[in-house]
Amino acid sequence: MNKNVVGWFEIPVANMQRAIQFYEIVFDFKLSRHLLGPIDMAWFPSVENASGSPGALVYNESAYKPSRDGVLIYFTAGSGDLSIELSKVESSGGKILLPKRQISEKVGYMALISDSEGNRIALLSPK
């Protein structure tokens, strides 16, 4: 197998504009919003032939509900030190659930947060 196991991910949101603002501020990138019939999506930026998986925020009241109890997605901190992304979480409407801690010297550090919609996500970085 020469591909990543995960091919796509979707994060449910209750308020698309609020969620877009949260992710753009915390991670310092732009999302691309697309209305696909009854589904409102905001795609995360992706780089062809790079590691990781593309995905989107998604709003559809009848099919998607934000949760702290479901799948846990790890976002790689683009800064290389997740402390930078963590410093923006609470001012952007999220919460820090588990502060930065080392996983191991080889893997690096992680933290758990709740986004502006109530989804639990993780951050991962070498520093």
- For 77-125, what is each residue's pLDDT tens digit? 999 999 999 999 999 999 999 999 999 999 999 999 999 999 999 999 9
Q: State the residue range of the domain holding 50.
A: 9-125
The DSSP code for 114 is: E
For 3-32, the pLDDT digits (tens) are: 667 778 999 999 999 999 999 999 999 999
pLDDT at 19: 98
Residue 1 lies in a domain: no
Please state, in angstroms and rounded to a whole number, the distance separating the CA atoms of residues 102 and 104. 6
Quote the number of domains for the chain: 1
Q: CA torsion angle for 2, 71, 38, 13 (degrees, to 10)? A: -120
Percentage of the chain lying above the pLDDT 70 cut: 97
Residue 3 lies in a domain: no
By DSSP bridging, strand 32-36 and strand 74-76 are unpaired
Q: CA-based Rg of the chain, rounded to a whole angstrom?
A: 14
**What's the CATH number where 119 sits?**
3.10.180.10
pTM for the structure as a whole: 0.89
